């Protein structure tokens, strides 16, 4: 790896210690593989852009022949360029910080006890005006967690409390079969991660709602529900969680 790339990664790690661990998920993998110099500059925090703009302004304004026509053109060009870079770095910084916050909150949800996770989802739906029914252990083993009722419409809910990132299309098809079996009108699947492209294509035109990471966080935030992985139900059941609550094993990638 080129020396300049190593130096750049060390500088970014000092500015943001979580950069290295979040580089693959935050879209900053480009910086690791020889990003264009302008793109690398934009990745720097916005105060650096303001500092560079002020330095360039002072250097051009007080330089030799500063009041000549050529220097005036350079002065305005430098001022506009540095102001644009400062604005770009500020926007980029806010987006990176937002991604880091979302990643931390989703990590807490994944480490939460599965009963606590299901309980928060149920409370969030109650906040939206649904009557929520928790299903029996038998129905839970089939893949069903909650039954929602509102305005005469019955909706089935499955909570995918996995460490695994994406929900596959076969899991969505199973809920489609359960919807027909229970004569329900709609299905909602709640997951900490996202869904595969095949899963999104399958639900197109069907009464399905796929609630994923950021949408789930917004739903919990609207209901003012805390995200705390340390909260465990007062009486945790001795029985193991339903199959769809368990993390995928090596045999099921």
Min mean pLDDT across 85-94, 165-174, 197-206 is at 85-94
Question: Residue 68 — very low, low, confident or very high, per pLDDT cuts 50/70/90?
Answer: low
In a domain, 239, yes or no: yes
Question: Do 219 and 188 form a contact (C-beta atoms < 8 A)?
Answer: no
Specify whether 135 is located in the same domain as 207.
yes
More confident residue, 5 or 55: 55
| Pairing, β 166-167 against β 146-150 | unpaired
More confident residue, 3 or 55: 55
What would the two tokens of residue 88 be?
């770009």
Specify whether 118 is located in the same domain as 241.
yes
The pLDDT assigned to 9 comes to 47
Spatial separation of the C-alpha atoms in residues 235 and 44, rounded to whole Å = 48
The pLDDT assigned to 150 comes to 94
In a domain, 15, yes or no: yes
Question: Do 125 and 156 form a contact (C-beta atoms < 8 A)?
Answer: no
Question: How many domains, the chain?
Answer: 2
Specify whether 86 is located in the same domain as 207.
no
Specify whether 90 is located in the same domain as 123.
no
In a domain, 237, yes or no: yes
The pLDDT assigned to 251 comes to 38
226: domain CATH number is: 3.40.1350.10
Specify whether 7 is located in the same domain as 94.
yes
More confident residue, 46 or 180: 180
| Domain housing 103 | 3-107
Instruction: Give yes or no for residue 121 having a pLDDT over 80.
Output: yes
């Amino acid at each position: 790896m080129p020396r300049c790339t190593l130096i750049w990664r060390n500088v970014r790690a000092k500015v943001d210690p979580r950069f290295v661990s979040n580089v693959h998920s935050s879209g900053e993998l480009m910086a690791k593989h020889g990003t264009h110099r302008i793109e690398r500059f934009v990745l720097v925090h916005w105060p650096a852009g303001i500092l560079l703009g002020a330095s360039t302004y002072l250097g051009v304004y007080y330089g030799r022949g500063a009041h000549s026509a050529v220097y005036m053109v350079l002065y305005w060009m430098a001022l506009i360029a540095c102001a644009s870079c400062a604005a770009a770095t500020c926007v980029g910084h806010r987006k990176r910080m937002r991604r880091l916050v979302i990643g931390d909150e989703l990590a807490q949800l994944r480490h939460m006890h599965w009963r606590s996770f299901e309980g928060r989802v149920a409370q969030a739906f109650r906040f939206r005006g649904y009557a929520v029914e928790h299903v029996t252990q038998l129905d839970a083993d089939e893949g069903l967690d909650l039954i929602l009722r509102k305005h005469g419409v019955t909706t089935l809910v499955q909570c995918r409390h996995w460490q695994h990132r994406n929900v596959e299309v076969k899991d969505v098809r199973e809920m489609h079969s359960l919807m027909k079996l229970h004569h329900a009108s709609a299905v909602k699947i709640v997951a900490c991660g996202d869904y595969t492209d095949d899963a999104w294509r399958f639900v197109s035109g069907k009464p399905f709602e796929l609630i994923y990471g950021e949408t789930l966080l917004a739903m919990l935030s609207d209901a003012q529900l805390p995200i705390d992985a340390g909260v465990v139900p007062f009486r945790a059941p001795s029985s193991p969680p339903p199959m769809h609550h368990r993390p995928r094993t090596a045999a099921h990638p």
